[in-house]
Amino acid sequence: MKTPIETFSNWVRNGKDDGMEKNHFESVSKMFDIIVNSKGKFSIIDAGCGNGWAVRYIGKHPNCKSSCGIDGSDLMIKKAKKLDSNNQYFLGDLLKWKPVNKVDAVISMEVLYYFENPINVLRNIFNNWLDKNGKFVMGIDFYYENPDCHDWQEKTGVSIMNLMKINEWEKLFIESGFSNVKKYQLCSSGSWKGTLVIEGTKINI
């Protein structure tokens, strides 16, 4: 079994990371709509940005003041920087990293279930990344109510993959301090139950 970071670094080596945009674009674009429709001008961080495709995409929006990404894979960050000189990228541990300036929004796609205790990442984002009234939007395809994904850990050989129920994720958001927590299942098709998207707002300072 490989750690998530080892797995995704290997994706860079074999070019598999290029499929991330193709596979997730529809869901992520809808996640960005949640942010764009609730904000005026905004700054944003992509937590677990991979090769930076989503950072580049949202960075082109006319209301985006700044777009940056953080990832735990050195190879992913190096590739992101190589592809993009307009936005910032940081190598760091999502459990500990803190931005210099807090932002209006954070987005994360297919990342949080790779942590033993995802609530610790949520708390770091809530306490140290988001400004007052900041919004966090999480998207995951690996969750209990989506049975088509249940064999992913066996297929990928990744050491940590938390298969949790929708209401368990919702509870973690609330326990982390988020308010106005909402959940959606987007882009479903046939037996595929879609991307689970959960949003929360930081009402408290």
For residue 65, being part of any structural domain is answered with no
Task: Look at residue 180 in the predicted model and tell me its pLDDT.
Answer: 97
Supply the pTM of this predicted model: 0.95
Per-residue pLDDT of 122-135, as tens digits, reads 999 999 999 999 99
Tally of structural domains, the chain:
1
Per-residue pLDDT of 153-192, as tens digits, reads: 999 999 999 999 999 999 999 999 999 999 999 999 999 9
What pLDDT score does 8 carry? Answer: 78
Element (H, E) at 80: helix 74-83
Q: Does residue 102 lie in a domain region?
A: yes
Residue 113: give the domain boundaries: 15-48+93-201
How far, in Å, are 41, 137, 167 from residue 180 at the CA level?
21, 12, 15
Give residue 48's Cα distance to chain centre: 6
Query: Quick one: pLDDT at residue 21?
Result: 67
CA distance 49 to 71: 6
- Reported as a pLDDT band with limits 50, 70 and 90, residue 200 is very high
In a domain, 26, yes or no: yes
Q: Is residue 173 part of a domain?
A: yes
Does residue 197 lie in a domain region?
Answer: yes
Classify residue 141: in a domain, yes or no.
Answer: yes
- 107 in helix, strand or coil? strand
Q: How far apart are CA 14 and CA 29, in angstroms?
A: 26
Instruction: With respect to residue 62, please indicate whether it lies within any of the assigned structural domains.
Output: no
CATH of the domain at 155: 3.40.50.150
Asked which of 5-19, 94-108, 139-153, 179-193 is least confident by mean pLDDT, the reply is 5-19
